[in-house]
Structure 1
Amino acid sequence: MQTAPITASGKHLPYEVKHLDDIEWETIRWPGETGKMLFHPRPERPTEPNAGILRLAPGAHHPVHNHDFAQVWYILSGEFQIDDNLCKPGTMIFHPDPHFEGKFETATGGDILIVQYPGPTTGGRPIYAGRFNMEERRDIREERTDL
């Protein structure tokens, strides 16, 4: 991780620079998903977003489920069917807080840039540990999918 020099006033934190090639692919909780989260919340930095790339294999999918945090997705490659919407490269999706993610499927696979951040109205925080860095994926029936 690289950071910019601290400003003369010392009041503002520097930006951070990370490259996708410096992070390993991790198992994500839904079938056919792996990811590289370049930034993620930690106890010492609870407001840091989950930010990185989701890579989805052909046939990847997830059911309708909900979150208390907010997030933005940007389709980099592939085609994704989300409910009745076909999302192609160049599509941006905003999920306010709280929100539900619709039924999600892809025949082509592809990459999505995601940024998840604490909900401005709910205070809900994105979760990294146990969702983006799983040793072994659980059965989809074991995941919380209630609305």
Structure 2
Amino acid sequence: MKRDRTLRELGAKNINNLEWTKTRFDDVSIKLLSFRDGVACVYDRFAPGARTFPHQHGFRQLRYILEGEFIVNGVTYGPGTLIDFPEFTEYETICPNGGLWLLIQMPGKTGLAPTDPTGWAYNKTDSVAKA
């Protein structure tokens, strides 16, 4: 049976058409793919030698490594790895040779959600991001 309806075009972004944006970490920049309804989807680029200080968030995060090696809390992960960051789990990241990962931040059990994918809304040295 044929349906007479028109499906609408969906919103889409091509990563190659987006500009890099600075973050609160000097050697980390992002391309923002989507940020709505308490969910952020971000392409994160770490320069060689980039690192974050130990910090945590009150929301859940998933990070899928596309390129490079990331050392998170002393464990080395490579391309094809999905890392799950539960709410209020302190972590630091070191990227010795540079790398890319896809970051998804979303509300979790706490009900807190990301408020700023660049991190500028949080103090540059806060170990706890409030949301």
**Could you state the TM-score of these two structures normalised by the residue count of structure 2?**
0.81
Q: Contact 2:40–2:114 (CA<8 Å) still a contact in 1?
A: yes
| 2:52 equivalent to 1:62 | yes
Change (3 A) 1:91 1:84: same
Q: What is the match of residue 11 of structure 2?
A: 16
Query: Counterparts of 1:15 and 1:117 in 2: how far apart (Å)?
Result: 21
Structure 1: which amino acid aligns with 2:30? G
Q: Contact 1:39–1:48 (CA<8 Å) still a contact in 2?
A: no
Q: What is the match of residue 106 of structure 2?
A: 117
| 2:88 equivalent to 1:99 | yes
Query: Counterparts of 1:107 and 1:84 in 2: how far apart (Å)?
Result: 12
Percent of pairs with identical residues:
30
Could you tell me how far 1:145 is from its partner in structure 2?
0.8
Could you tell me how far 1:86 is from its partner in structure 2?
0.4
SS in 2 for 1:52: strand
Structure 2: which amino acid aligns with 1:34? S
For structure 2, the residue ranges without an aligned partner over 5 or more in a row are 1-6
Number of aligned pairs?
Answer: 122
Q: Contact 1:79–1:109 (CA<8 Å) still a contact in 2?
A: yes
Q: Contact 1:64–1:100 (CA<8 Å) still a contact in 2?
A: no
CA RMSD of aligned residues (A): 2.4
Q: Contact 1:27–1:133 (CA<8 Å) still a contact in 2?
A: no
